[in-house]
Amino acid sequence: MRSNPKIVPLINLIWKSVIVTQNIHTNVFFLIVVQYRLKNRTILMKKATKKEINTLKSALLERYSDAVTELSYANAYELVIAVALSAQCTDKRVNLITPALFEAYPNPEALANADINDVKSLIQSCSFFNNKAINLIAMAKRVVDVYHGEVPLDEKELVTLAGVGQKTAHVVLIEYTQANLMAVDTHVFRVSHRLGLSDDLSAIATEATLVKKFKTNLHQLHQGLVLFGRYICTAKNPKCDSECFLREFCKSKDGFKPR
């Protein structure tokens, strides 16, 4: 049976976006709107103006001046593990898992020599725990073998560790070194689109757009956008009337409406 050539790209887009944002309902709706807009060249979502971006940036920086990750960690080794586990898993869940994991394997050497089944059982309440356990041990082995037991704090080196992609590397560097980097998770992706900061279809493209538009204070803006998306501009039932301090910049009303 031949596939409908118009449907296949849409399904691919939805699938890629679901992987990024983990919210199929929001994304199916959002991407249908995007597809409709692309095909009909109809502007359904306005873009933020330069003036709005500057004001919005200041408001985020003021509100989230001291924002940090909600993941619990004590050092770079623990942070890399926590961030890797948080992929498609909530920070709350990761924080429930990591105390026992860090106690059992307090350093890369211990984790490098761990029994895979022991690691799996410690992280089994986390999504994709089988692959994550394999990657954690492989990551620790490389840290021991190549980096003398110290997690490298360089993006090019970080991404050579098992299970560490660009987003994980950026989140680690943003949190641990306050690097001027952006990382786009499900919250940053959703909020960026609702505020008219990006109409990109992927997290990577959204990241590039945010870097271009904000330029500076990216680490702080990342932390702020995550918290804003997690607690105020939530996927379902965003707190538009009760808590949103960016309401005047919201562009989502004519595109995908807040539910």
Active site residues: 167, 185
Q: Is 98 in the site for ligand SF4 (CB under 6 A)?
A: no
Q: Is 246 in the site for ligand SF4 (CB under 6 A)?
A: yes
User: Which residue type is seen at 237?
Assistant: N
Q: Is 247 in the site for ligand SF4 (CB under 6 A)?
A: yes
Q: Is 56 in the site for ligand SF4 (CB under 6 A)?
A: no
10 Å CB burial of residue 32 (0-12, 13-18, 19+) is: middle
Helices (H), the chain: 7-21, 24-40, 50-63, 76-85, 91-104, 108-112, 116-123, 129-147, 155-158, 166-177, 186-194, 203-214, 218-231
Shortest distance, CB of residue 259 to ligand SF4, whole angstroms? 9
In Å, how far from its chain's centre is CA 164? Answer: 13
Name the residue with tokens 């761990």: 114
Q: One symbol per residue from 138 to 167: x for binding ligand SF4 (CB under 6 A), - otherwise; what is it? A: ------------------------------
Shortest distance, CB of residue 185 to ligand SF4, whole angstroms? 16
Half-sphere exposure of 149 (CA within 13 A, CB side): 8
Shortest distance, CB of residue 190 to ligand SF4, whole angstroms? 8
Region of residue 215 (left: phi > 0; alpha: psi -120 to 50; beta: else): left
Interface size with ligand SF4, residues (CB under 6 A):
13
Name the residue with tokens 């118009």: 6
Determine the Cα–Cα distance for residues 52 and 16; give it in Å rounded to an integer.
30
Residue with Cβ nearer ligand SF4 (43 or 146)? 43
Q: Which parts of 172-191 interact with ligand SF4 (CB under 6 A)?
A: none
Q: Is 244 in the site for ligand SF4 (CB under 6 A)?
A: yes
Please select the residue that binds ligand SF4; options are 108, 152, 163, 238, rule is CB under 6 A: 238
Dihedral, 104, 120, 155, 57 alpha carbons, nearest 10: -100
Shortest distance, CB of residue 25 to ligand SF4, whole angstroms? 15
Please select the residue that binds ligand SF4; options are 232, 235, 255, 256, rule is CB under 6 A: 232
Residues that bind ligand SF4 (CB under 6 A): 194-195, 232-233, 238-240, 244, 246-247, 250, 252, 258
